[in-house]
Amino acid sequence: AVLTDKIARKYIAYEEKEFGDNYILALPINKKKISIQASMYEGQEVNLLLDRYFSAAYKKRNFRKLQTPFVCVATDLLTGEAVPLTTGYLPWAIRASMSIPGYFSTVKYDNKYLVDGGVVDNYPVNQVLKMGANYIVGLDVQQGLVKSIDDLNTIPAVIDQLVSFHRVRANEEGYKKTNLYINIPMPYKTMDFDSYDSIIAIGEKTGREHYAELKSLADSLNAIEYRPLKKYNSRPLDSIYIDSVVVEGNKRISDAYFENSFGQYKNSTVYINDLETEIRIVYGTKFFSLISYEFRENKEGGTDLIISVKEADPGYLAVGAHYNGDYSVGILLNGTFRNVLGKNSKIFVNLIIGPNVFFRGLYMKDNGAKPGYGAKIEIYSFGFKDYEGNELIGRINFTNFKASAFTRSILKNRYSFRVGGNFEYFRFKSKLKSEDIDSISDYNSYGNIYFAFNSDTRNRSYLSTKGSVSELRVEYVVPFAKNWVQDFFSNSLVFWLNYNQNIPLNKRWTFKPGVFLGGTYVKGLPTYSDQPHLNFRLAPAQHWFYMGGLTSKNYVHGFQPFTGVQYIQRYGQYMAILRAKIQYNFYKKLYFTLRGDVGSVEWYVENVFDPANYVAGYGATVSYDSFIGPVELSVMGSNIYPGVSFFINIGFWF
């Protein structure tokens, strides 16, 4: 994760999780054209790591004056010349010297665009001699050019081979000027950092093999002039007092945004852990491709915090694909645009093309730690079978044109609070199986005001093993139409809680409990009655609760999956579901999940708690975690559906 800019999902902004976890390919848009990134990664986590470990040396701007004089070498991308780095900010100098072309982005340092010094000089003996060294001890992990095409099986390996053609010749000059040369036989590659323990062991073994030579050299130097061993006791800073905060590099993001996020650090003691957390939260908004910090001594002898940012490309186009037994085939086209309609703004657009069309557009004004606002448009049209018990009696189609405006507040990118209002132009179309006519088929207007709390702390959006996802929502729904709608539907208070938790039992086993509780208050509707529910005015149909199928993301909030029950086989105004799953990662990207649901959905609240109405579903799912999303086969049954049913899912949910 350190080398791939990947941060924990809990730091990613809530709306980015909502729109950004479901596509296969994304291409940036820059200067009104689709482009390809110049490098695979910016080095976000690498920068934070270097900033932390070398924080104690922030006042040392001349590397020659460090306890051990230091120099590193980078390559000027525009001239191809080696650039020795001996002054400046130490973490950035080191970062510039390790910017592998194509893998990491270039670093702007002293108005030069720098990449890895190993491109032209990966054994910089001359630079050490210029610093005054008289005797060179050289340790070299390079093994020369790769001789087998089978070993050039990764992008970093190919890049390293290409840049090695020049540096192998340059190294020869350095070897000639080395007094004691030690080659460390290293079978590991540039990016094999996970094998650090083996790499250290190889280095220690090689060092012990040359111990006699090194000891003899030390003894001869001490015979000339004895020098006691230096004590290296510097440690990374745990905290530091900050006078002021300076932001550099922002153009499309307002200064007020950074004030909301980092203003708290002015004239206060800042803990490095807290600073890194805040940086990751801001990075998780995806307004930026890179955020780093620097401690800089000011004229008064105090310390300023410098926040350096590189703003992300203004837009992305993405595509995804999905199939399941409930919604059939869907192709997702996604557009994400940042700072296009004003500073700190975001626009998300999703279009699902298939038998069940869905469009969603979201505009948001992000004010960082302070409340923002937004607007959303949703258009969907889809159908599902209508059952009475297990008997198919017809088909229902929902078509909705929905617009909303809201104010929102985000806490730590994990918790979202929204208050807003919706306008709906909705058609509930019901076709009875026994009649070749549509019993209801016209559009009508509705509105609602709502409060919503959402949280998502999962480590993944699918096959997750940690964290939770939840939604608490309260809506007051009003039918505006002055026609038959007034006879069937009434002003209603609709509310629900949906909560799902991941509890890791060990590295492979995860227990996944969940609960859904939903209810409706309609004036005049009894808690229990022997009369049919259609004898009373109800909440509008798009705000009922529907149960069945295994689709985890539905077009309508009230649609909830239930194991072993046909898609939307039951519905009503009150619903309670208890869920439990055991997920087992039995081999690499293969998972096996046992699942069970118990619950009911009824028109009257008292019926929900009647054991005679309980539905119990059970099943098992085999999943493969592929690059297009989970590929799954489920086998299910329940006490209301005879026999065995199957469910197939291919691709990310959207």
For residue 212, pLDDT beyond 60: yes
The confidence band for 388, taking pLDDT boundaries of 50, 70 and 90, is confident
User: Which of 177, 166, 168, 87 is CA-nearest to residue 128?
Assistant: 177
For residue 148, pLDDT beyond 90: no
For residue 146, pLDDT beyond 60: yes
Q: Are 304 and 361 members of one domain?
A: no
Q: Is 649 exposed, middle or buried (0-12, 13-18, 19+ CB in 10 A)?
A: buried
What total of structural domains would you count in the chain?
A: 3
The confidence band for 221, taking pLDDT boundaries of 50, 70 and 90, is confident
Query: Does 7 map to a domain?
Result: no
Q: Quote the CA–CA distance of 498 and 503 in Å, as a whole number.
A: 17
Q: What is the mean pLDDT of residues 387-392?
A: 84
The confidence band for 486, taking pLDDT boundaries of 50, 70 and 90, is confident
Query: Does 22 map to a domain?
Result: no
Q: Are 189 and 252 members of one domain?
A: no
Q: Are 561 and 579 members of one domain?
A: yes
Query: Does 14 map to a domain?
Result: no
pLDDT digit string, tens, across residues 454-468: 999 999 999 999 999
pLDDT digit string, tens, across residues 27-58: 888 777 776 777 888 999 999 999 999 999 99
Distance of CA 355 to the CA centre of its chain: 29
Q: Which residues contact 450 (CB under 8 A, 6 or more apart)?
A: 418, 419, 420, 421, 422, 473, 474, 475, 476
Higher pLDDT, 167 or 538: 538
Most confident of 190-204, 419-433, 582-596: 582-596
pLDDT digit string, tens, across residues 247-301: 999 998 989 899 989 999 999 999 999 999 999 999 999 999 999 999 999 999 9
Query: Does 581 map to a domain?
Result: yes
What the block records as the tokens of 587 is: 């081999």
pLDDT digit string, tens, across residues 535-550: 899 999 999 999 999 9
Q: Are 393 and 413 members of one domain?
A: yes
Q: Look at residue 440 in the predicted model and tell me its pLDDT.
A: 60
Query: Does 475 map to a domain?
Result: yes
Q: Please state, for a pLDDT cut of 90, what percent of the chain lies above it.
A: 65
Higher pLDDT, 583 or 18: 583
Q: Are 527 and 583 members of one domain?
A: yes
What the block records as the tokens of 435 is: 């009649």
Query: Does 449 map to a domain?
Result: yes
Average pLDDT, the chain: 90
pLDDT digit string, tens, across residues 503-512: 999 999 999 9
User: Which of 430, 577, 591, 443 is CA-nearest to residue 498?
Assistant: 577
Q: Are 293 and 325 members of one domain?
A: no
Q: Are 484 and 340 members of one domain?
A: yes
For residue 434, pLDDT beyond 60: no
Higher pLDDT, 142 or 605: 605
Q: Quote the CA–CA distance of 304 and 141 in Å, as a whole number.
A: 39
Q: What is the mean pLDDT of residues 479-495?
A: 90
Q: Are 321 and 455 members of one domain?
A: yes
Higher pLDDT, 321 or 101: 321
Residue 276: give the domain boundaries.
239-311
pTM tops 0.75 = yes
Q: Look at residue 1 in the predicted model and tell me its pLDDT.
A: 66
Q: Are 296 and 275 members of one domain?
A: yes
In this structure, which long-range contacts are made by residues 523-531, counting pairs with CB atoms below 8 Å and at least 24 apart in sequence? 523/490, 523/491, 524/490, 525/573, 525/604, 526/604, 527/604, 527/605, 527/606, 528/604, 528/605, 528/606, 528/607, 529/604
For residue 518, pLDDT beyond 50: yes
Q: Are 218 and 247 members of one domain?
A: no
∠ CA 112-118-121, nearest 5°, is 90
Which residue type occupies 81? E
pLDDT digit string, tens, across residues 235-248: 999 999 999 999 99
Q: Quote the CA–CA distance of 607 and 613 in Å, as a whole number.
A: 7
Q: Look at residue 431 in the predicted model and tell me its pLDDT.
A: 72
Q: Look at residue 438 in the predicted model and tell me its pLDDT.
A: 53
- One-character DSSP codes across 507-556: SSEEEEEEEEEEEEEETT--SS-SS-GGGS-B--GGGSEEE-BS-SS-SS
Calculate the alpha carbon distances from 578 to 464, 466, 517, 634 in Å: 19, 19, 9, 19
Q: What is the mean pLDDT of residues 328-357?
A: 93
pLDDT digit string, tens, across residues 575-631: 999 999 999 999 999 999 999 999 999 999 999 999 999 999 999 999 999 999 999
Q: What is the mean pLDDT of residues 135-148?
A: 81
Of 276, 292, 311, the domain-final residue: 311
Range in 35-44, 94-103, 339-348, 561-570 with the lowest mean pLDDT: 35-44
For residue 383, pLDDT beyond 70: yes
Q: Look at residue 88 in the predicted model and tell me its pLDDT.
A: 94
Query: Does 275 map to a domain?
Result: yes
Of 224, 250, 265, the domain-final residue: 224
Q: Find the CATH number of the domain harbouring 530.
A: 2.40.160.50
For residue 399, pLDDT beyond 90: yes
For residue 22, pLDDT beyond 90: no
For residue 437, pLDDT beyond 60: no
Q: What is the mean pLDDT of residues 23-29?
A: 86
The confidence band for 435, taking pLDDT boundaries of 50, 70 and 90, is low
Q: Look at residue 143 in the predicted model and tell me its pLDDT.
A: 67
The confidence band for 470, taking pLDDT boundaries of 50, 70 and 90, is very high
Of 224, 258, 291, the domain-final residue: 224
For residue 152, pLDDT beyond 50: yes
Query: Does 378 map to a domain?
Result: yes
Q: Are 472 and 543 members of one domain?
A: yes
Q: Are 274 and 366 members of one domain?
A: no
